[in-house]
Amino acid sequence: MSSPGTTLRPSLKRKAPGTRNERDLWEAGHDVVVGIDEVGRGAWAGPLTLGAVVIPKDRRLTKVRDSKMLTEPERELMYGRIVEWSDAFAVGHATHEECDELGMSAAQKLAAARAIAGLGVEPDQVLLDGNWDFVGGDVVPTSSVRKIVKGDASCLSIAAASIVAKVTRDRMMRAESEAHPWWSFETNKGYPCPRHKTALAGVGPSSIHRRSWVFMEHLPWPGAIRAVPRHLRPDENQGTLFA
């Protein structure tokens, strides 16, 4: 019997991401093309995590898919393969405190800057999943960014980045669950689900919850302290504010 993840489920076999975008850029003379994807933006606890991957021009890796399409064992298997196969990879995080302090848009830009800095190579072009450019102008020139809607499903380097980001963050949240057992982070990874919401209603937030988020408004626990993001403060020169 094959080990988990060594064979693709039939439903995934025709959904492989391609390299059309990368090849277009390589042929135009851009040697270092970085695929980027993020995970954790919608979570209520833990970091926002961004993966960056540079795929090789002359070697392909089969069975890479958007991380959301894969099971956890499949993602773990593919993570190891991507790390060995890629020319460069890195992960950048914005902590839960930084998500509260900066707001999610600025936190995503910060995580992207950290991931790109960690690659050890200078990007010629960046491929982003989605229609929002959170890299251009701050990290690389805006002209060096190509946005691809549903890029994690159609673009190989972005799909690889989605797996690197997802596996890294999931491992972090499983480790956090040992110190924070009430919230079942090992299974929900900080995202809202019935069990997570029940724990919040019963014992309030953990030390890694994002306290500026709206879910905090509905907690009955009186000890919950809400942080106010910097961009919402009446005076940005003041210290951290709470509500």
pLDDT digits (tens, 9 = 90+) for 173-207: 999 999 999 999 999 999 999 999 999 999 889 99
Q: How confident is the model at residue 234 (pLDDT cuts 50, 70, 90)?
A: low
Q: How confident is the model at residue 2 (pLDDT cuts 50, 70, 90)?
A: very low
By CB neighbour count within 10 A (0-12 exposed, 13-18 middle, 19+ buried), where does 114 fall? middle
130 or 240, greater pLDDT: 130
Q: Which long-range contacts (CB under 8 A, 24 or more apart) does 103-107 make?
A: 103/212, 103/229, 103/230, 103/231, 103/232, 104/41, 104/48, 105/134, 106/231, 107/48
Q: How confident is the model at residue 242 (pLDDT cuts 50, 70, 90)?
A: very low
For 34-78, write each residue's pLDDT tens digit: 999 999 999 999 999 999 999 999 999 999 999 999 999 999 999
Q: How would CATH label the architecture of 15-175?
A: 2-Layer Sandwich (3.30)
> 0.85 exceeded by the pTM?
yes
Can you read off the two tokens belonging to residue 57?
Answer: 């021009």
Name the β-bridge partners of 126: 34, 145
pLDDT of residue 3: 43
Closest CA to 170 of 93, 72, 86: 72
pLDDT of residue 239: 44
- Domain residues of the chain, as ranges? 15-175, 180-232
